[in-house]
Structure 1
């Protein structure tokens, strides 16, 4: 499977991510990635530049963007999960197909992650993004070293966990948000089910490839030991076809994985970020409601002081009312602002999702068509060589 390359995003900025080298020995080894950027955007110091980054640097960038932008309702694209098992195989030098596949999948996932970040008009303006792409001696992100896959899921869902503890249900004033959240939750369930099925399909294709290779080898050995020349030639040709079929199953398994499984995994994580933006809006609404409740309490306190004729504490109560009135006004504005941002972000997400799925499905169908054309070609070759006639 060739390297995955995304389309250029708006603003003429491309950044292929390549595996640079593995540094260190044994369990202290780590993979370094070369991030090359080519752009015409004036915000960068030059048109072409290259930096080296570790996987933890990508996670560190995500944490910075999450801390600064998630509270405003932005959908911050998540990086790929940290795979301890996959990286352990690479560290101990286990060179097999699964290790090579893991390295390529991570490289492609990191490239897609960066692509989504720089194609976001607000995130691209963030100085941490420009520093990540340009700065050679960027400090190492230490806080992400122990971040496992389970830890990452906890991090992406921390807004959800906070909201679940609230006892007051949000009185939704805009049915659009309620409907969209239901759509997101339903889509998340469907994507997870489909991802499981595709991963199962990939496993079956890989198993079929292994079994086909064994069958081809056995047929070839049988042909080499056969005294009948015609039958020996027929068995040899059959073994040759099965060898090609074995490679075909391998290629199709790779296509299933890179075109479908990886896309689904990306959007399962992205839907987690979408849900987090809805949760942030709910938290902003909750803060507004809490301020309104506090303002009501302050007004009740003022009324009690007036009734009890305590003028010495009345001015303080009035000042507190003024303070909380300002907070209520500000928090309402914050809620309206976050709501507007979430709406725009969700609409933008839906457009990107439709584009990505369309492109990958077309690529997947093309791979199926190519496989079918190869099978048809081999069929013609067999007929031309009178394979079946030779048998009988």
Structure 2
């Protein structure tokens, strides 16, 4: 991919979305994941209520408090590009909260449960646009996703949360409702962060207008210059779909080169690089999960180790008769306390590692949207190929009718009528071809712009991920080292007496 000069930082909309690496890690990482991105909005230390937090990992690690804090970079200022990107965001706040169980008056006996869960969606517009509150159910989110798929063909549209196949069985469980609430909030924030979707009417209507979302009969291909009306997928007639299927089979097995083929070499090269990126991300994500799991196991094992020595210290204290035995019991207790502190710090490090490396998982999800945009491009090209093939066939038929008509004396009314019908069909098909070509060109432009944006934002996001990961590794490692260094100093005198 072409290197871009402008680099964007992570938008503030995702600052408090410190989701762990996968659903498995949500339940296994015990320490709470700190909300804000330490690179953009460093959270203060729990012990800093009376003094300003230091921007140095070394200073942070000197604190004796065992708090799960995200360590700050030495330069905590927000970059100019990040500030510019945040200023361009249409919504400064989107939260999903207050899930409520409601009765569904439209539910039938056949459909099953007559209840659903609605969520309060609060959004605040940039530039003093005020705060808006609406209630939505998951069905509305699905309708929004369908509408965006029609209106923004060729864009990398964030993937919506999946609909659980066992939703009716688990809807009463708080864990499921909370997980879905978080997924909807994250999804809406991703949409708002998109430069085109975030300013679109679809998202605005979803966030501001009460009621259920519905798909329009036609959709518009969103571009920077304007919208081009094209038939929605749901409005395609059966015969058109059949002709496109026939054209696809002809392309694959007919051995005949279509009149229009994908010849954009730059796009084909970038598409291949995206596929390579997906493979690399898959491998990196797997190793990142293994790292998080190993750090988690280390923290849990250290905690169990400390608890075991706490019990040993209590036993020694109960059995101690001599002063030396009491000193030994005290030293065992100090060692156990240090191990428990190190365990808590290790769990904090694990949570922060999962938060930062989750960027890999995020981009794997984004690549699903990339594949969808590329599929739209292929579909639009197939439509162009089909209309051109139809035109060639119609022109051939018209030429045969006209040739036959010229050989007959006195003319043939039925044949002339058929010729006129063919000409009208050719005119309509020409219009369809023009529309299909415009649709295809707009999708190509959208693909190109989105690939450029992916290059820019990937650079900033990966740099932020690595910086956050390294800073927290250093900070927590120093705090853990200080715990053991303090213990070593406290026990050094007793060790000398023992020798």
Does the alignment reach a TM-score above 0.5? yes
The partner residue of 1:222 within 312, 318, 332 is: 312
Which residue of structure 1 aligns with residue 122 of structure 2? 36
RMSD (CA atoms): 3.5
For the pair 1:3 / 2:35, whether they are aligned, the reply is yes
For the pair 1:246 / 2:343, whether they are aligned, the reply is yes
Matches within 5 A, 1:111-126: 111-126=185-200
Which residue of structure 2 aligns with residue 370 of structure 1? 475
Matches within 5 A, 1:28-177: 33-41=119-127, 46-70=129-153, 73-81=154-162, 91-92=172-173, 103=178, 109-135=183-209, 137-139=210-212, 166-167=248-249, 168=251, 171-177=261-267
Distance 2:436 2:351 in 1: 50
Conserved? CA contact 1:3–1:108, under 8 Å = no
Shift in Å, 1:339? 0.9
Conserved? CA contact 1:230–1:390, under 8 Å = no
The partner residue of 2:392 within 273, 296, 311 is: 296
More helix by share: 1
Conserved? CA contact 1:237–1:387, under 8 Å = no
The partner residue of 1:259 within 348, 356, 379 is: 356
Which residue of structure 2 aligns with residue 15 of structure 1? 93
For the pair 1:206 / 2:296, whether they are aligned, the reply is yes
Shift in Å, 1:190? 1.9
Distance 1:356-1:206 versus aligned 2 partners, 3 A rule: same
Distance 1:313 1:51 in 2: 57
Shift in Å, 1:328? 2.5
Conserved? CA contact 2:89–2:192, under 8 Å = no
Shift in Å, 1:68? 2.5
Distance 1:121 1:60 in 2: 21
Shift in Å, 1:4? 4.7
For the pair 1:334 / 2:439, whether they are aligned, the reply is yes
Which residue of structure 1 aligns with residue 221 of structure 2? none
Select between 29-38 and 81-90 the one with higher mean Cα deviation: 81-90
Q: Secondary structure at the match of 1:17?
A: strand
Question: Structure 1: which 5+ residue stretches go unaligned?
Answer: 94-98, 142-161
Distance 1:371 1:87 in 2: 43
The higher-RCO structure (CA 8 Å, 6+ apart) is 2
Distance 1:50 1:304 in 2: 65
Conserved? CA contact 1:16–1:111, under 8 Å = yes
Q: Secondary structure at the match of 1:173?
A: coil
Conserved? CA contact 1:80–1:109, under 8 Å = yes
Shift in Å, 1:277? 1.0
Distance 1:336 1:128 in 2: 23
Distance 1:140-1:67 versus aligned 2 partners, 3 A rule: closer
Conserved? CA contact 2:90–2:192, under 8 Å = no
Distance 2:422 2:164 in 1: 56
Distance 1:54-1:306 versus aligned 2 partners, 3 A rule: closer
Distance 1:32 1:319 in 2: 52
What CA deviation, in whole Å up to 9, does each residue of 1:264-283 have, x standing for no partner? 22221211111111111111
Q: Secondary structure at the match of 1:76?
A: coil
Question: Structure 2: which 5+ residue stretches go unaligned?
Answer: 1-32, 41-81, 103-112, 215-243, 253-259, 406-414
Distance 2:452 2:147 in 1: 24
Shift in Å, 1:59? 3.9
Shift in Å, 1:55? 4.8
What CA deviation, in whole Å up to 9, does each residue of 1:330-375 have, x standing for no partner? 3222222221121112212322222222223322222212111202
Shift in Å, 1:222? 0.7
Count of residues in Structure 1 that have an aligned counterpart in Structure 2: 355
Shift in Å, 1:83? 6.2
Matches within 5 A, 1:311-326: 311-326=416-431
Distance 1:247 1:87 in 2: 38
